[in-house]
Amino acid sequence: MNPESIYIHIPFCKTKCPYCDFASWAKKEHLFEEYIDALISEIKTKCEAYFAMGNLPQPIHSLFIGGGTPSLIPPDLYEKLFSELKKHFQFLNDCEITMELNPGTANDNFLVGYKKLGVNRISIGAQSFNEKILETLGRKHSVDETIEAIEKIKNAGFTNFNLDFIFSVPGMTKQIWEESIYKALSFNPKHISSYSLIIEPGTPFEHIYKDPKNLPTDDTASEFYMLLCQTLNENGYKHYEVSNFAKSGFESKHNLNYWLAKEYYAFGVGAHRYLNGLRTANTKDLDLYISNPNIETIVDFPINYDFEKIMLTSRLNQGFSLKSIERVTTKDKHYVKNMLNTLTEGGFIELFEDNVHLTDKGMFVNNEILLKLI
Ligand code: SF4
pLDDT at position 208 = 94
pLDDT for residue 303: 55
> Looking at residue 212, what DSSP letter applies?
G
Residue with the smallest CA separation from ligand 1 atom 8 is 20
**What was the pLDDT predicted at 58?**
77
Q: Which of 102, 141, 145 has most ligand 1 atoms within 8 Å of CB, for mutation?
A: 102
Q: What is the phi/psi pair of residue 269, to 5°? A: -60, 130
Which atom of ligand 1 approaches the CA of 13 most closely? 4
C-alpha of residue 309 to centroid of ligand 1, in Å: 29
**Would you say 358 and 314 are in contact if contact means Cβ atoms under 8 Å apart?**
yes
Cα 278 versus chain centre, distance:
21
What's the CA-to-centroid distance between 43 and ligand 1, angstroms?
Answer: 24
Low-confidence ranges of the chain (pLDDT < 50): none
Closest protein CA for atom 6 of ligand 1: 17
Please tell me the predicted confidence (pLDDT) of residue 1: 64
Atom of ligand 1 minimally distant from the CA of 102: 1
The per-residue DSSP string of 131-198 comes to HHHHHHTT--S-HHHHHHHHHHHHHTT---EEEEEEES-TT--HHHHHHHHHHHHHT--SEEEEEE--
Question: How many angstroms separate the alpha carbon of residue 185 from the centre of ligand 1?
Answer: 23
Query: Of the residues 10, 21, 24, 72, which should be mutated to test ligand 1's pocket, given the most ligand atoms within 8 Å of the CB?
Result: 24
> Is residue 182 within 8 Å of 232, Cβ to Cβ?
no
In angstroms, what is the span from residue 262 Cα to ligand 1's centroid? 26
Residue 67 CA, closest ligand 1 atom number: 3
Confidence (pLDDT) at 37: 98
User: What's the gap in Å between 293 CA and the centre of ligand 1?
Assistant: 22
Q: Are 110 and 75 in contact (CB under 8 A)?
A: yes
Amino acid at 332: D
Contact call for residues 357 and 313 (beta carbons, < 8 A): no
User: What's the rounded Cα separation, in Å, for the pair 84 and 97?
Assistant: 16
Helix (H, G, I), strand (E, B) or coil at 95: strand
Residues with CB under 6 A from ligand 1: 13, 16-17, 20, 22, 24, 67-69, 102, 125
CA of 153 to the centre of ligand 1 (A): 20
pLDDT of residue 144: 98
* Nearest residue (CA) to ligand 1, atom 3: 68
CA dihedral for 255, 259, 265, 267, sign (positive or negative): positive
Round to whole Å and give the CA distance between 270 and 96. Answer: 23
Q: What is the pLDDT of residues 307-322, one digit of tens each?
A: 888 889 889 988 888 9
Check residue 42 and give its pLDDT: 97
The per-residue pLDDT for 63 is 98
Tell me if the bond preceding 68 is cis, omega within 30° of 0: yes
- Distance in Å, CA 16 to ligand 1 centroid: 6
Half-sphere exposure of 131 (CA within 13 A, CB side): 3
150 CA to centre of ligand 1 in angstroms = 18
pLDDT of residue 356: 92
Residue whose Cα lies nearest atom 7 of ligand 1: it is: 20
Q: Are 100 and 70 in contact (CB under 8 A)?
A: yes
Q: How far apart are CA 4 and CA 264, in angstroms?
A: 6
Closest C-alpha among 65, 48, 49 to residue 5: 65
Could you give the domains of the chain?
5-259 (3.20.20.70), 305-373 (1.10.10.920)
202 Cα: distance to centroid of ligand 1 (angstroms):
15
pLDDT at residue 89, as a whole number: 94
- Which residue's alpha carbon is nearest to atom 2 within ligand 1? 68
Strands 320-321 vs 355-358: parallel, antiparallel or unpaired:
antiparallel
Nearest CA, atom 5, ligand 1: 16
Q: Please provide the DSSP assignment of 244-268 as one string.
A: EEESTT-S-HHHHHHHTT--BEEES
